[in-house]
Amino acid sequence: MELSEIQRLVDANAECYSKKHGIPLSVDLLVLKLMEETGEFAEALTVSRNLCRAEKRVDAVTSQENLAAEIADVAVTVLHLASMLKIDLEAALEKKALAKGRAYLAERNAA
Ligand SMILES: [Mg+2]
């Protein structure tokens, strides 16, 4: 699936959430949500490493599911934020990391 299609579906989900809960989406709210979701991911990671109180600990499968869910929340928020800011995320990723990654792999494979 292309990133633009993922972004389109994420935007549709955000619109559905906004309508369902009567919460207008804005860049300011999304930045706050990004901080919230990043914190939730950090908490899941803390739990997964058993760096938490005993009563918060969960089994390894649940821990991995929690980590996946929370990192997905972070990614979804970033994707929707990019849409609201009219940023072509694929182009930005290409410029920031993909071209360099591709060049590194080509060099590594040639060695
Ligand atoms: Mg979350």
The pLDDT value given to residue 24: 96
How far is CA 71 from each of CA 19, 25, 54, 75, 108, rounded to the nearest angstrom? 24, 20, 23, 6, 29
* 4-38 per-position pLDDT tens digit: 999 999 999 999 999 999 999 999 999 999 999 99
22-30: list long-range contacts, CB under 8 Å, 24+ apart.
25/80, 25/84, 26/84, 27/81, 27/84, 27/85, 30/77, 30/80, 30/81, 30/84
Per the prediction, the chain carries an average pLDDT of 96
Domain ranges of the chain: 3-110
Q: Which amino acid, 45?
A: L
Q: What's 3-110's CATH class?
A: mainly alpha
Percentage of the chain exceeding pLDDT 70: 100
Report residue 65's pLDDT band, with 50, 70 and 90 as the boundaries. very high
Residue count of the chain? 111
- The predicted pLDDT at position 40 comes to 98
| pLDDT recorded at residue 81 | 97
Give residue 102's pLDDT band: very low, low, confident or very high (50, 70, 90). Answer: very high
Q: How far is the CA of 20 from the centre of ligand 1 (A)?
A: 18
Residues 6+ apart with CB under 8 A from 57: 47, 50
Average confidence (pLDDT) over 61-90: 97
pLDDT score recorded for residue 99: 93
Ligand 1: distance of its center to the CA of 106 in Å?
A: 37
93 Cα–ligand 1 center, Å: 24
